[in-house]
Structure 1
Amino acid sequence: MDVTATNYSTTTTKTADSADTSKISSDFDTFLKMLTAQIQNQDPMNPVESSDFAVQLATFSSVEQQSLTNQKLDTLSGLMGVQGMTQLAPWVGQEARSAGPVYMNGTPVTIAPDPNVTADRAVLVVKDISGNTLAREDVPVSGGTYEWTGKDISGADLPSGVYTLSLESYRDGVEIETSAVESYASIQEVQMAATGPQLILAGGVSISAEQVTALRQAA
């Protein structure tokens, strides 16, 4: 984890919070000045009810408190995100199993297809990032792990890149189910994103920690 970047981010957040707090204080002072001017310049023959002033003051105060609360929640969320990233740091170097995209560079990838329990045939479907089908190959209907070697429909090696895998389950020649295929990939890095910590896998594939269904030591 880049400590310098983290410190910079923390400093930036504190500066932004300070600026927002200063702005709210300035807005509140402006509101009080406007309210005072309104009282001083009201029509003496038709004065504004004191209760109306109280409502205006209470409304602004409520908005001010809500804004401050949101700022504190944002700060807390950022701190929790950093803590979550720190907790995931020990995962770096291990292999995560998930149903996300698969990076193939010529080295066999361990996948975990899960055919329908009633299937008598299972077909692994390989597509590129544009959704074009590049290969279809039969895999054992018994499930378990399987080494995908990255061949196209003619048996030639696929070029290095990111692919998506799915599994078609058949019974008596009829497709009964299509499901995602989980695969193992090494965790290269943990990054902070707007949605929380993200795991960067081999090939630059990004997934959230919630997508991981298993971890194992790298081969």
Structure 2
Amino acid sequence: MDIASSTSAATAAATSSNSGKTAIASDFETFLRMMTTQLKNQDPMNPIDSADYAVQLATFSSVEQQAKTNSLLEAMGAQFGLMGMAQMAGWVGHEARAAAPVWISGDPVSLAPNPAFGADSAVLVVRDFEGNLVNRVNIPASADPLEWEPVDQLDAPLAEGTYTFQLESYAGEDLLATTDVESYARIVEVRGGAAGATVVLEGGIEVPVAAVTAIRG
């Protein structure tokens, strides 16, 4: 778990809350000074109606309470986020399944293909980090997990690096769909951020938590 990110989130929430309180106090003091000045300089022959002051005070009080409520909700949201990070820290060391690039270093790759409905054949398309085609492999048109040995079209082992996988689903000779293939990779870190939590997979590949469809030990 990224402790620094968690601490930063809590600090930011506290700073935001404190800043809100300081701003409210400053505005309230300004409001009182303006009201005092208004009282001192009003026309004795045409004094301001006390009801107007009551309305002004009530309005400011309402705004003040709303600002405090917003600050409280922000702090609560940050705390809930930290609770989620603490729970997700248990994912580290497990494998996440997601449609994301895969770091290949010689070991078999665990794939979870999902052929289109009606497909009777499928082709696994493998590309390197720059998008160059490195292999096309005929695989069963099945959603069963697949352990694939990372080799190129000449059956030579792929160089260490990041690769992407897509699946072409066919009905006869007709291409039904081309979809990204989900794969399993070990989680090395869980991070929090403004855009939400992410898991860091082997090879430094970052995946939003929302994109993770399964976790296994």
- Into which bin does the TM-score normalised by the smaller protein fall? 0.7 to 0.9
Letter matched to residue 197 of structure 1: A
Partner of 1:85: helix, strand, or coil? Answer: helix
Q: Which runs of 5+ in 2 are unaligned?
A: none
Partner of 1:67: 67
Partner of 2:91: 91
The 5 Å alignment of 1:65-214 reads 65-129=65-129, 131-153=131-153, 155-214=155-214
**Which of 151-160 and 161-170 deviates more?**
151-160
RMSD: 2.8
Structure 2 vs 1, CA of residues 120 and 16 (structure 1 numbering), >3 Å: closer, same or farther?
closer
Partner of 2:203: helix, strand, or coil? Answer: helix
Q: Give the TM-score of the pair, scaled to structure 1.
A: 0.82
Following the alignment from structure 1 to structure 2, what is the Cα–Cα distance between the partners of residues 39 and 115?
78
Shift of 1:156: 4.3
Structure 2 vs 1, CA of residues 215 and 199 (structure 1 numbering), >3 Å: closer, same or farther?
same
Shift of 1:47: 5.1
Letter matched to residue 14 of structure 1: A
Partner of 1:62: helix, strand, or coil? Answer: helix
**Which of 56-65 and 200-209 deviates more?**
56-65
Structure 2 vs 1, CA of residues 142 and 9 (structure 1 numbering), >3 Å: closer, same or farther?
closer
Q: Give the TM-score of the pair, scaled to structure 2.
A: 0.82
Shift of 1:101: 2.4
**Sequence identity (%):** 47
Structure 2 vs 1, CA of residues 2 and 42 (structure 1 numbering), >3 Å: closer, same or farther?
same
Structure 2 contact 191–198 (Cα < 8 Å) conserved: yes
